Structure formats: C-alpha cells, structure tokens
Amino acid sequence: MSSGNPSVFLLSVNGQIEGANFPEYDNLYCKYCYVYGHDWAPTSGLEEGITQITCKGSQASHRLIWNFPLETTFKSTNPFGWPQLVVSVYGPDVFGNDVVRGYGATHIPLTPGQHKRTIPMFVPEPTWRLQKFTSWLLGRRPEYTDPKVVAQGEGREVTRVRSQGFVTISFHIMTKDMKKLGYDTGPSSSANPHTASPGWSTEQQPNV
C-alpha cells in the first residue's frame, strides 16, 4: 500500500481475557468472538476462541483466572461497525450439564493504549417459573441463539436477563492510518499528521 494514501486503517487488538468473578460458580470456561460491521475484516489472529476450564483456588479469592490471550488485527475502511468482543462463559451445573453462565460484550477500545474492561455478564431468564424449574432440572437453560446477539441492540427488548458476574479483559490497542483517513481517536496531542510516518501510532518506528 502506498504510504501516502492508505485505503484502509488497521486496528490491532492484543490483550487477554484475564479472568472472571462469578461468586456462585466454579469450573468455568469462556468463549470469545468478535462482532464487527460489514466493512471490517480480520487480517490476522484468531477471531474466536475458547479458554481452558478454570476453577477457583482454595484461597479466599473468588476470582477465576484464564489469562487467555487475544491477538487479532482488523482492517477496515469505515469505523461504522467497530468491532465488539463478545464473551460467553459456560460451566457445569449441579448435574454436570454444561450451561451458560453469562454473556457479555464490549467494544474494543477506540483509543490506542492500554485499557482494562470489566464486563458485566448476564444470562437470559426463563420465561416462566415452571420453565425455570425444568430448565434447571434438565440442565438446559435458556441460551441465546447466537452469543453475538448481545452485541446488537435490535430485538433485545424481547428478552429478560439476569446479571451474573464479571469478566475482566485487558486490551492493548494499536491503530494505524486512522488519522490519515480522517478519524481521530487518540488524544489530541499525539501524532502530528504531517510528520507521521506510516507506523503504529503508539510507537515510533525506528529509522523510517
């Protein structure tokens, strides 16, 4: 690509799903995937993944640790449909059935740098009480048809959810060529658009 006139900008997402806080549950694992608009395309890295199962330590801490790395780079021509990270947590219930323990989503941070996000998680509620009981008994709780539902606003009004816990995610964001395309997300004092050489905006490229 010609350095002067980029046609796409890049968004590099590094980070990790650090852990979760689900006071009531144990032995959980986490799935993640990205939801992004039409103009976005992942260029490298895993778009979705699944963590190991982790259980709480015997210590007083109730945190579940996954430390699952996220490394994805997106390219896009349009900030519309900025990627969102969708996480869903699963774990066994008392009968050993794998049930969902929480859904949550967050936008990838817009600004370059380090960010930490704590995503509140929730699960859909059964429509009525008997169903709640049977779903508990059969180990088949209501789930979203698609975890990506939580990243969209449309149609959510028909669901009832209950909050569950928190998942903590740290991000390290780098962007490239955003400014050249006229999108300014960073702090105003950062790069000078005239002198900025093609390079990741958060670090100076050596010898260029």
Partner 1 sequence: MDAGLHHLIDAAASHGFCFATTGTQRWRRSRRKSETQTPGSETEEEEKGLIKPPSSVQIPLTNAVSIIFLSLVDQQLLEQSSVHSAQGERGEVFTEGSAEKSAEPVIVSTRSPRGLESSSGSQHFDSNVTQQLKERLRAARSKAGSLQQEESSSLESGSRLQSLRHRDTVTRFDRETDPDTAARPHRVPFDLSTRVKFRESRRQSQTEKGLPSAEEAYNFFTLNFEPDPPEQAETIGRRRQKHKNEAEDEEEPEAEEEDDAVDDNQDENPDQNEEAPLVQDEEEDLFTIQQSSQDFLEVRKAEYTGYRNLVQRERERELLFTPSVGTVPTSVKLPENMKPRYLEDEGLYVGQRPSVSQNNQNQMENRILKMEEGKKWFGDDGRILALPDPIKESSTRPPLFHMEEDLDPALQTVHRTAIKSEPAKMYMMGAADPEGDYRLDVDVSGLVFSHHPLFSREHVLAARLAQLYDQYLSRQHNNLTGHLTDKLNGLRRALRNILEIHGGQNLSPAMQQRISEYSQEVRDTRQLRDSQQEKDRVLLKNIIKAWKDMKDLREFQKFTNTPFKLYLRKENVDQASDEHDHEEEILAEVMELEVESQEEYQRRLAQYKKQLLEWKLSRKKQKSKKKKKQKKRNKGQLQEDTDEEEEDQEMDDSGEDLPKPEPPERPDLGSLEQMVREKASRIRRKPGDAILIPELSASGKITASELCPRAEVSRREEVMRRSLFVKILYNDKEVSRTDSRCLNTDFRVHFGQIFNLKILNCPHSINLQVFEESGSSCSLLAQVFVPVPDSSVLTGGVPLEEIEFSCNQRVMFDHEGVGSDVPLSFEADGGKRITLLTSGKLSCCVSWGVGEDDVPLAPPASQRHSGTHSGRLDAVSYIGASGLYDMKKIADWATQSRLDPNDPKNVSIMQLLKVASSGEVTAPDYFRLEQLQEEFNFVMDEEFRSSRRFRLLQLRNQEVAEFRNYKGVPSVEREVDDKVFQVYERRLKDGEMIHTEEHLDSHRALVAKYLQKIRDSVINRFLLAKHHFLLSDLVIEEEIPTIGILGINLFKLAEPKRPLKPQRKERKKVTAQNLSDGDIRLLVNIIRAFDVPVRRPHSNKPGPSPQGAVQGWDWFGGQVQVRPFVEVSFQRTVLQTTTADGPNPCWNEELQLPFSAPNGDYSIASLQSVKDEVFISIFDEVVYETGTSDRDGGTSVQTTAQKHWLGSVKIPFSTIYSQSRIDGTFRVNTPAVLLGYSRERSHAHSGYDVLRSLSEGTFITLFITIEPHLVPGESIREKLKEVKFDSQEDERLLQAAVKFERDATQSHPDRPCVTTVIDLNGKTVFITRYIRPLNPPQELLDASPNNPQDAAALVARFVSLIPSLPDRVSFSFACDLWSTCDQFLTLLAGDEEEHAVLLCNYFLSMGKKSWLIMGTAIPEGPTAYVLTYEQSRYLIWNPSSGQYYSQYDTFCPLQMVGCLVNPDNVWFNIQEYALPMRMSFDVTRANQWKPFFSRSFSHPGLSSVQPEELLYRRTDRTAATELQDRIEKILKEKIMEWRPRQPTRWNRHCTSTLKHFLPKLEQSGGRDVAEAHRHELQSMLGDNRISGFPLHLPFSEVRPIVEAVYSTGVHNVQSSNVEFALAVYVHPYPNNVLSVWVYLASLVRM
What does the per-residue mask of binding to partner 1 show for 32-51, with x meaning CB under 8 A?
------xx-x----------
The token duo for 18 is 């650090």
Count of residues touching partner 1 (by CB under 8 A): 35
Determine if 8 is a binding residue for partner 1 (CB under 8 A). Answer: yes
Determine if 56 is a binding residue for partner 1 (CB under 8 A). Answer: no
Nearest distance from residue 108's CB to partner 1, in Å? 18
Options 86-94, 105-113, 152-160, 195-203: segment touching partner 1 (CB under 8 A) = 152-160
Burial of 185 (0-12, 13-18, 19+ CB in 10 A): middle
**Residue with smaller CB distance to partner 1, 17 or 35:** 35
Residue count of the chain, please give it.
208
Nearest distance from residue 53's CB to partner 1, in Å? 21
Determine which residue in the list 2, 5, 195, 207 makes contact with partner 1, applying CB under 8 A: 5
Determine if 129 is a binding residue for partner 1 (CB under 8 A). Answer: no
Alpha carbon distance 82, 183 (integer Å):
12
Determine which residue in the list 44, 52, 61, 127 makes contact with partner 1, applying CB under 8 A: 127
Nearest distance from residue 47's CB to partner 1, in Å? 11
Those residues with Cβ within 8 angstroms of residue 151's Cβ, 6 or more apart along the chain or in another chain: 35, 84, 86, 105
Options 16-24, 65-73, 123-131, 186-194: segment touching partner 1 (CB under 8 A) = 123-131
The SS3 of residue 93 is coil
Contact by Cβ (8 Å): 208, 198: yes
The token duo for 25 is 């549950």
**Residue with smaller CB distance to partner 1, 172 or 180:** 180
Residues facing 172 on adjacent strands: 14, 114
Closest C-alpha to 71, from 34, 40, 118: 34
Determine if 113 is a binding residue for partner 1 (CB under 8 A). Answer: no
Options 13-21, 90-98, 141-149, 188-196: segment touching partner 1 (CB under 8 A) = 141-149
Chain-centre distance for alpha carbon 85: 2
C-alpha separations of 206 from 1, 64, 79, 198, 200 in Å:
19, 40, 28, 11, 11
Residues that bind partner 1 (CB under 8 A): 5-9, 38-39, 41, 76-78, 80, 124, 126-127, 130-131, 134-135, 138, 140, 142-146, 148-149, 154-159, 181
